[in-house]
């Protein structure tokens, strides 16, 4: 049957991978809560920030009970990095001090560059039903940490996607895959953010340079990477093996996963809650600016 989705790209270039990466480590993540009592799993924790530079955090949230998400994330500040929220199911309303407002819903992405600072809220716009998605934090290079805030709502039907003959459907949120440019591009860190929907037995290859830090998070089913099975709700850190040229995944049953990669900044990371800078002095400045009401664009 012909795919009617307007954002589906039909001409694709296969990625050639001859020296695939192996799994270095499997990570289960930590159950926690954030905002006003939103239950979530912190998959990429602070202890992995250097290993997975330029990524600072990945939260997975998924709840059927409104009590686990209804409080949302009331007004809070950010400085020094970008937040990328991918909503699989549910509706979340965003407001920020730069005057932006948007509704993030089923399959959509919100990309927010905090830069020198925003105060924003992320509140559920539903009182029942399932809420499921991810929030990724992407660091900014030192030279860009104090840029003006920026924000983009990317509706689901505008995210470029393609399907392969091997049974993979790929949504390209950032970067490039199989010659398809994603919804967002960034220089310096060159983030790749793919949402993979794989049929049972599907094989998917993605070329990437050995120095890119990369991981896979399986949120449905199970993947096989080399001789390692990666079960549901596990993150696989992919080894930066010198000479490797990409990653090859095989689905053990129908599966879905995020494949995320980026070029490390190799700059000092100093985090204090929602502020991520390069020095302690810059953190103190962020706290002082916030208290003085100067984080409002
Ligand atoms: Fe936030």
**Residue-wise pLDDT tens digits, 74-103:** 999 999 999 999 999 999 999 998 888 999
Overall size of the chain counted in residues: 297
Q: Is the pLDDT of residue 108 over 70?
A: yes
Predicted pLDDT of residue 297: 53
Q: What is the mean pLDDT of residues 199-218?
A: 98
Give the pLDDT confidence of 126-180 residue by residue, as tens digits.
Answer: 889 999 999 999 999 999 999 999 999 999 999 999 999 999 999 999 999 999 9
From the CA of 120, how far away is ligand 1's center (Å)? 6
Kindly state the helix (H) or strand (E) to which residue 289 belongs, with its residue range.
helix 280-291
DSSP helix/strand/coil, 290: helix
Q: Grade residue 10 by pLDDT with cuts at 50, 70 and 90.
A: confident
From the CA of 69, how far away is ligand 1's center (Å)? 14
Six token digits for residue 259: 């494949």
From the CA of 24, how far away is ligand 1's center (Å)? 30
Q: What is the mean pLDDT of residues 19-48?
A: 96
DSSP helix/strand/coil, 202: coil
- CA 186 to the chain's CA centroid: 14
Q: Is the pLDDT of residue 248 over 80?
A: yes
Q: Pick the more confident residue, 62 or 171.
A: 171
From the CA of 297, how far away is ligand 1's center (Å)? 15
From the CA of 33, how far away is ligand 1's center (Å)? 13
Q: Grade residue 5 by pLDDT with cuts at 50, 70 and 90.
A: low
Predicted pLDDT of residue 2: 43
From the CA of 68, how far away is ligand 1's center (Å)? 17
From the CA of 106, how far away is ligand 1's center (Å)? 19
Q: What is the mean pLDDT of residues 207-223?
A: 98
Q: pTM of this prediction?
A: 0.96
Cβ atoms of 85 and 134 closer than 8 Å:
yes
Predicted pLDDT of residue 222: 98
Q: Is the pLDDT of residue 4 over 70?
A: no
From the CA of 274, how far away is ligand 1's center (Å)? 8
From the CA of 89, how far away is ligand 1's center (Å)? 18
DSSP result, 215-270: EEEEEES-EEETTEEE-TTEEEEEP--TT--EEEEEESSSEEEEEEEE-------E
As a whole number, the mean pLDDT across the chain is 95
- Rounded CA-CA distance 23/30 in Å is 20
Predicted pLDDT of residue 98: 85
From the CA of 52, how far away is ligand 1's center (Å)? 20
From the CA of 78, how far away is ligand 1's center (Å)? 7
Q: Is the pLDDT of residue 35 over 70?
A: yes
Q: Grade residue 1 by pLDDT with cuts at 50, 70 and 90.
A: very low
List of domains in the chain: 13-267+277-291 (2.60.120.10)
From the CA of 121, how far away is ligand 1's center (Å)? 7
* CB neighbourhood size of 111 (10 A): 22
From the CA of 260, how far away is ligand 1's center (Å)? 20
Cβ atoms of 78 and 296 closer than 8 Å:
no
Q: What is the mean pLDDT of residues 193-209?
A: 98
């Amino acid at each position: 049957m012909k795919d009617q989705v307007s954002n589906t790209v039909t001409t694709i270039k296969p990625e050639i991978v001859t020296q695939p990466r192996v799994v270095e480590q499997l990570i289960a993540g930590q159950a926690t809560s954030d905002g006003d009592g939103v239950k979530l799993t912190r998959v990429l924790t602070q202890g992995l920030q250097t290993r997975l530079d330029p990524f600072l955090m990945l939260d997975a949230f998924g709840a059927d009970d409104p009590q686990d998400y209804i409080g949302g994330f009331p007004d809070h500040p950010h400085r020094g990095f970008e937040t990328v929220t991918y909503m699989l199911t549910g509706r979340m309303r965003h407001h920020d001090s730069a005057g932006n407002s948007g509704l993030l819903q089923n399959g959509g992405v919100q990309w927010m560059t905090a830069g020198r600072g925003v105060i924003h809220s992320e509140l559920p716009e539903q009182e029942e039903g399932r809420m499921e998605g991810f929030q990724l934090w992407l660091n900014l290079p030192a030279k860009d940490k104090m840029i003006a805030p920026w924000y983009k709502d990317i509706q689901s039907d505008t995210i470029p996607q393609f399907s392969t003959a091997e049974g993979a459907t790929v949504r390209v949120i950032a970067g490039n895959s199989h010659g398809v440019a994603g919804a967002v591009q960034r220089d310096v860190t060159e983030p790749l953010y793919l949402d993979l929907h794989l049929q049972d037995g599907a094989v998917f290859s993605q070329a990437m340079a050995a120095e890119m830090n990369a991981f896979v998070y399986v949120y449905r089913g199970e993947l096989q990477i080399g001789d390692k099975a990666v079960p549901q709700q596990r993150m696989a850190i992919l080894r930066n093996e010198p000479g490797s040229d990409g990653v090859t995944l095989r689905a053990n049953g129908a599966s879905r996963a995020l494949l995320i990669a980026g070029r490390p900044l190799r700059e000092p990371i100093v985090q204090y809650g929602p502020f991520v800078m390069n020095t302690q002095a810059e953190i103190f400045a962020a706290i002082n600016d916030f208290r003085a009401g100067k984080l409002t664009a």
